[in-house]
Each structure stands twice: as structure tokens, then as C-alpha cells.
Amino acid sequence: MTKQYFGTDGIRGKVGSGAINPEFILKLGWAVGRVFSRLAEGKTTVPRIIIGKDTRISGYMFESALEAGLVAAGVNVALIGPMPTPAIAYLTRTFHCTAGIVISASHNPFYDNGIKFFSAEGTKLPDDIEYAIEAELDKPMVTVDSAELGKVTRIEDAGGRYIEYCKSTVPTGFDLAGKKVVVDCAHGATYYVAPLVLRELGADVIEIGAKPDGLNINNGFGSTSPAAISAAVVEYGADIGVAFDGDGDRLLFVDSDGTTVDGDAILYVIAMDQLRTQGSCNGVAGTLMSNLGLELAMQAKGIPFGRAKVGDRYVSEMMKDEGWSLGGESSGHVICADVASTGDGIVAALKVFFAVIDSGMSLKELLSGLEICPQVMINVRRERTVDLDNDPVITAAVKEVEEVMGANGRVLLRPSGTEPLIRVMVEGQDAAQVQMFAEQLAAKVKAAVS
């Protein structure tokens, strides 16, 4: 079955277009309420759903629409205002809510928005619940009797609870005293939580991208615009910098000389620290886009490594299937399942900070064993659809490249999920060879899809 509205991470789009409009979001809230009310039949408690959001100006509009729809379906609502996406996952669990809803378009510009969901366990909703919600959306909206309408409350201490949770994920006695840290919050949902967490752990914190106005989220700041934090770390002579995306589930680091450290490198640091402190790392889940260098580094240390489809949902599924506690994407979405149910930028950051402090090494020193392989990505515009796995010319060209590169290289051809493009990616240990093979394969693909 194909879902009409849900993608790999909820429903997302430009505000005022498609499903991202107040009328649809009102109906969505009602449909969600109907599904969870049906699941709660026979229980004594009324379903309660928590709603949080990032700092986009449209968040207020959609918060009201969701609230009205849920109440009309007879569901109680708890509002927490602007909070990181992983905070909503955590608070959904700790308040024993039926589900959690996040109003956010993550790293997208302010004019986009979206709705993401968490189960009572703080994980992504299973497919059967999403199908059930879509089925309700096709029905006429009917409000429950007035005596059965849901009630709305506001949780005032949500930020404090989440800050204490974040600090609890590192050992007692850990502190960042004497460390100058630049924190870039992308003018997004971490704007007051992340600096407070680090200050309460003793760091000398310099904030940038921490003045949201509803329109500036992800605009020139945050993990998708690393130039700002790289410059700030150098300017202030900081020891380290950490940048989050608009909803706080992704991060990147910057070392003392302004060099960026992406999700692959963060996974490496955490995995190596598990080896150092625990004697083992039971496995790491990456994606099809994870750098070959990370895979080779894991192999060298005897750590199992797997590649899931692109998307944190698929990474989580692989981690669960394999029984692994660590996984993530190059983009900086890092999941530390030993302490969190979903990708959490602040929690992952604290794992890295702990590795730095406890080992007595700099971030650059901790990364000395990781050699990131040169990677070339060429986007080929698709004029017509081609089965990349069965086209004889393309498969022969890929096989030829793979035979030459052997275990020291990798080829990936992947259709874009949002644009009419074929992404041709080649990576290996020889930069010139990688560039040459990428151009050759791109030419073959272009001839096949033009």
C-alpha cells in the first residue's frame, strides 16, 4: 500500500500548499484523535496527546488547528510550546501520554512546516497506525458530544525536565569546566535548552543562532550552514563548537581550528569511546550514504557495521533488528539507543563531550584513526524512468567500476525522493579515480534517462 500523505518522517511541505494548511491540519488532528480513541476503547483513561513545535511562525497556527481537531475527537491535549523534537519523544514517555506530535519541518526554511508523530514509547509510529489515520481522513469530520470533548492543559516545566534528562545521560561528576564552547541553535527549537544544558555542566558557552523570530530558523545558521559556527569558533578561540538543526535532532561539531565534523565522524567518536570505556561496541548502523571510511574503520576494530536505507526510521529499524545501540546518518542524525528512543542532537553532543573530557584528548585527536574517503556526487536530471538495477548498459558500467575499485571503493545510484534526479555517487581512496569514475557513470546514466 502507498501512503497518500505520510512520508518517511511524517507529513511535510510548504505552508499553504498541499496538506500543510489549517483546514487539513484540523482534520488531521481529528483523525489522529479518532484512531487513538479507538485503540483506547475499554480503558478507563482518556487518550492524552502532547504537542510541541519548533520556532516557525506557522507553528502557532498549526498548533491551534491540531488542538481543535484532537479535542473534537474527544482526546485530551498537553501543550509544551517550542521544544526540540527529541524532547517531545522523551516527554511523551515520561508523562505516559498516548502519543506525541511535533510541528516542525526540521532543517527546512521557515516557509515549510510539517507534522511528525511519536508513539507512547517515544518511537516513530508504526505503519499500521499511519494507514489508519489516512483512512480516517477520508471520512466526514464529526465532533463528539460536548460532555466528551477533550481538555487542554499546558506543561509549564517541560524545558526543565528535558534539561535534567539530557544531563542524566552522562555519568555523575562529568563537567565541562574550563571549556569554551560555541553553540549554534539555528534560531530553532534548541535556542534556550542547549545553552542551558552546557552551562549547567560548567562550560563557558557562546551562543549564536539563538534569537528566533519565527522567520529566521535555519537561515545562515545551524548544522546545515556550518560556515557560521566554524567562523565563530576561530573568532572566539573556542575549544569546540556544536551546531544543531532547526528541530534539534541533528548536529555537527567543529574542532578548535574550525574544521567541521559530520555525522559519520560523530558515530566514530562515540563507537571508539564505547570500546575505550566498555571494552566493546556491539554494532553501528549507517545508511547507504555513510562514508566508506567509517565502514573501513569499524571493520578494522572488529565492530559490525550495516547500511540501512536513507532515513532515521530505517536506521532505527536496523538497530532494533540487530540489537545495536548506535546508529545514524552523515547528516548528523545520531541515535544513541542506550539512553534515547530517537535521534537527539543534545544527547549525542554530550556523548562526544564526554569522550573528549574523559579521554583527555581533543576532538581532532579522537578522529585521528578515521580516514574519510573522497566522495563525488553527480546529480543527473531524469527525463524518463529507467530501472537502474536492470538496465544492461548501466549495470555493466557499475560492475566494471566496482571490479576495478574492489573493497577500496563503492558505487551508489539512487533516485531522488523529491526531485526528478538520479544521484550518482562514487567513493574510494583515490580522489582522482573517484572523480573519473563518477563522471563516466554519470554520462552512462544521462544517456539512459534522457
CA-CA distance, 87 to 161, in Å (whole number)? 9
**pTM of structure:** 0.92
Which is more confidently placed, 384 or 165?
165
Same domain, yes or no: 296 and 229: no
The one catalytic residue in 106, 223, 316, 325 is 106
Whether residue 94 lies inside any domain: the answer is: yes
Whether residue 427 lies inside any domain: the answer is: yes
Question: Is 106 marked active-site?
Answer: yes
Whether residue 121 lies inside any domain: the answer is: yes
Coil, helix or strand for 422? strand
Whether residue 163 lies inside any domain: the answer is: no
Same domain, yes or no: 340 and 383: no
Same domain, yes or no: 253 and 292: no
- 249 to 246, 263, 288, 364: CA distances (angstroms): 8, 12, 20, 23
The domain in which residue 272 lies consists of: 262-345+360-366
Mean pLDDT of 21-27: 98
CATH (domain of 380): 3.30.310.50
Same domain, yes or no: 305 and 399: no
Whether residue 43 lies inside any domain: the answer is: yes
Mean pLDDT of 73-89: 97
Same domain, yes or no: 39 and 130: yes
Please tell me the predicted confidence (pLDDT) of residue 184: 98
Confidence of residue 41 (pLDDT cuts 50, 70, 90): confident
CA-CA distance, 94 to 81, in Å (whole number)? 17
Mean pLDDT of 172-201: 97
Coil, helix or strand for 52? strand
Phi, psi of 388 (to 5 degrees): -60, -30
Coil, helix or strand for 155? coil
Same domain, yes or no: 250 and 333: no
Domain boundary among 205, 230, 260: 260
- 23 to 9, 27, 64, 118, 322: CA distances (angstroms): 21, 6, 11, 22, 42
What dihedral do alpha carbons 172, 178, 183, 189 form, nearest 10°? 30
Read off the DSSP letter of residue 406. Answer: G
Q: Which residues of 108-131 are buried (b: 16+ CB within 10 A; e: fewer)?
A: bebebbbbbbbbbebbbbeeebbe
CA-CA distance, 293 to 409, in Å (whole number)? 10
Confidence of residue 417 (pLDDT cuts 50, 70, 90): low
Same domain, yes or no: 266 and 246: no
Q: What's the length of the chain? A: 450
Sheet holding 48-53, edge to edge: 11-14, 112-118, 99-103, 48-53, 76-82, 152-154
Residue 367 corresponds to which cell in the numbers above? 578522529
Amino acid letter at 167? Answer: K
- 83 to 67, 163, 290: CA distances (angstroms): 17, 11, 29
CA-CA distance, 169 to 296, in Å (whole number)? 29
CATH (domain of 252): 3.40.120.10
Whether residue 216 lies inside any domain: the answer is: yes
Same domain, yes or no: 131 and 41: yes
Same domain, yes or no: 104 and 34: yes
| pLDDT single digits (tens) 198-248 | 999 999 999 999 999 999 999 999 999 999 999 999 999 999 999 999 999
Q: How many beta carbons lie within 10 A of that of residue 194, not counting itself? A: 28
Whether residue 4 lies inside any domain: the answer is: no
| pLDDT single digits (tens) 305-334 | 999 998 888 999 999 999 999 999 999 999
Domain boundary among 233, 260, 287: 260
| pLDDT single digits (tens) 249-304 | 999 999 999 999 999 999 999 999 999 999 999 999 999 999 999 999 999 999 99
Whether residue 3 lies inside any domain: the answer is: no
Please tell me the predicted confidence (pLDDT) of residue 257: 95
Percent of the chain with pLDDT over 70: 99
Q: Residue 385: pLDDT above 80?
A: yes
Same domain, yes or no: 320 and 394: no
Domain boundary among 211, 238, 260: 260
Same domain, yes or no: 17 and 55: yes
CA-CA distance, 332 to 266, in Å (whole number)? 8
Same domain, yes or no: 238 and 269: no
| DSSP-derived secondary structure for 320-371 | HHHT-SEEE-TTS-EEETTT-SS--HHHHHHHHHHHHHHHT--HHHHTTT--
| pLDDT single digits (tens) 388-410 | 888 899 999 999 999 999 988 99
Domain count within the chain: 4
